[in-house]
Amino acid sequence: MATKALVAALAIAVGIDAHAAAASTPATIDTLAVTLRERAELLAAGEFTPAVAMAVVRPGQPDLLLAEGVPYRGAQDQVDEHTVFRLASVSKGFAATLCALLADAGYMALDQSIADLVPGLELADPGASSELTLERLLSHQTGLPHHTFDVKIEAYAPLSDLIPALKTVRPTCGVGECYTYQNVIFNVAADAAFNAAGAFFDQELRRRLLLPLGMDETSVGREELVGASNWARPHVKGKRGWTAVEPKSTYYQLPAAAGVNASIHDVAIWMRAQLGERPEVLPPEVLGKVQEPRVETPYEIGSSKWRRQRLQSASYALGWRIFDYAGETLVFHGGAVQGYRAMVGLLPEHGIGVALLWNSNSGVPGGLMPVVLDELLGLEGPDWLETDKLRQQTRWRQTAQTGRRAAPGSGGAP
C-alpha cells in the first residue's frame, strides 16, 4: 500500500494517470521527480523561500511540474502548478521573441535603426540613435553604462522622465562596441513593437504568442498579477523571517524588460515553444535569430560557483543568454525583483528545458538549476544545492521552534 501511494504521488508530479501508475512497478517511475520533490519540499519547509515551483520538459515525455510551499507566509492554501509568479528579467525573452516575430512578418527589421522605429529617442552621441539597431538594443549593445537609470526606476521615477534624460548619459563605449546590461532603454523595444504593429506590448504579446500557445496564466503588469485568483506574494527577509510585501510598481513600468507574470505550468509551455515544438507559432527561423549569440559576456562565467565550474563561455543573444555548459549549449535567463526570483534554462540540442520560480530574494533555490542540468546530462559533480547542509539547517530550525513552543509559560506542553 505504501508503494502504491508513493507511485500515485509521483504520478501526479509527472503528470500521468495515477491509477495507471499505481498498477505499474516502481522502476517505471521517473526518479528525477522523486529527487526534485524532496528538495523542493526541503526548500519550502526551511527558511529559504515560502514557495518554489519547478518545471522540467523533455521530448516525448509529460511535463514534470512541481510546486511546494505557500503563496504567502501564514497562508493555509498551498501553491500549485497554476500559481502565478513574477518573471522579472525573464520577460526579456518574451519581448525579443515578439520583436523577431514582427520582423518575420514584415512589420520591421532587426537591423532597422531605433531612430527609425522610435522617432525622437536621443542619446548623448548625435549619431548613436541611428547606429542603435533593434538587434543591438535587444542584445544590450547600446553603449550606455550598465543598468542605466535602474536606481531611479527603483526610486519610482516615471519612465516618461527617464527616456528623454538618456541624452544626458555619457556612454561607456560606442554603440555595438561592448555589452552593458540594461532595463530602461531595453523597454524601448515595446515602443518599437507598438509603432510597427499599432498595438501595445501586452496586446501584441497576447495575440501573437500567449493565445496561440495556450498560455492563459501568463500576463503583463502589476494589476494583472494582483488580480489573479492564484498568485504568490513577494517576500523580504526580516527579523522574524520572510514577510510578505506588496509587489512594487517600479519595474512594471518596463513591460518588455521585466513586466511578465506566469505560472510554472505556462513556463513549461513557453520552454517547449522555445525548443521548437510549436513551429506554427514560433518558426525555426525566428528561434534561430532569437537564440543566436550576438556579443560575448565573459564576466557572467564567474558570478556563481556552478557557473565558474560548468561554463566555458558566455554570450548574449536577443533577450537570452547563451552559455557553453560543460560542452552543451544552454539558452538561459534569470530574473530578480523585490521578493521574486526566476530562472529558465534550455538545452536545445536535447530538447530539454528547466525552470524555477520562487517568491523570495534568497539565492539558495537557484542551486536546483545546475543540479537538474547535471542529472539530465549525466554529469558527475558537487551537489550545487548542498542538500545535506539544508537538511541540517531545517532540522535545527524545527527543533528550535519546537523548543520555543514547549517552553514553560509559553502555552506549550510542560
CATH 3.40.50.720, applies to 53-382: no
pLDDT score at 404? 53
Residue 88, sorted as left (phi over 0), alpha (psi -120 to 50) or beta, turns out to be left
pLDDT averaged over every residue in the chain: 90
pTM of this prediction? 0.89
30 confidence band (pLDDT: 50, 70, 90): confident
Given this model, what pLDDT does residue 402 score?
57
Name the least confident of 8-17, 41-50, 192-201, 212-221.
Answer: 8-17
Backbone dihedral region for residue 198 (phi beyond 0: left; psi -120 to 50: alpha; all else: beta) = left
Q: Measured between alpha carbons, how far is 397 from 113 in angstroms, rounded to an integer?
A: 56
86 strand-pairing partners: 261
pLDDT band for position 104 (cuts 50, 70, 90): very high
Closest CA to 87 of 266, 212, 326, 299: 266
Q: Is residue 278 over pLDDT 60?
A: yes
Does 29 score more than 80 pLDDT? no
**Tens digit of each residue's pLDDT (9 = 90 or more) over 289-316:** 999 999 999 999 988 899 999 999 999 9
68 — pLDDT class (breaks 50, 70, 90) = very high
- Which runs of E-coded beta strand occur in 130-274? 219-220, 235-238, 241-244, 260-263
Position 4 scores a pLDDT of 37
Task: Give the three cell numbers for residue 16.
Answer: 500521468
Is residue 17 predicted with pLDDT exceeding 50? no
- In the predicted structure, residue 86 carries a pLDDT above the cut 60: yes
Q: In the prediction, which pLDDT does 268 show?
A: 98
Tell me what pLDDT residue 399 has: 66
pLDDT tens-place string over residues 168-210 = 999 999 999 999 999 999 999 999 999 999 999 999 999 999 9
Q: Is the dihedral of CA 184, 188, 189, 193 positive or negative?
A: positive
How far is 133 from 14, CA to CA, in rounded Å? Answer: 43
pLDDT category of residue 398 using cuts at 50, 70 and 90:
low
19 burial level (CB within 10 Å; 0-12, 13-18, 19+): exposed
Of 93-97, 142-146, 223-227, 410-414, where does mean pLDDT reach its minimum? Answer: 410-414
- In the chain, CATH 3.40.710.10 covers 53-382
pLDDT, position 393: 77
pLDDT at 209 (0 to 100): 98
Beta strand pairing call for 352-358 and 51-57: antiparallel
Band (367; pLDDT cuts 50, 70, 90): very high
pLDDT at 395: 75
Beta-ladder partners of 10 = none
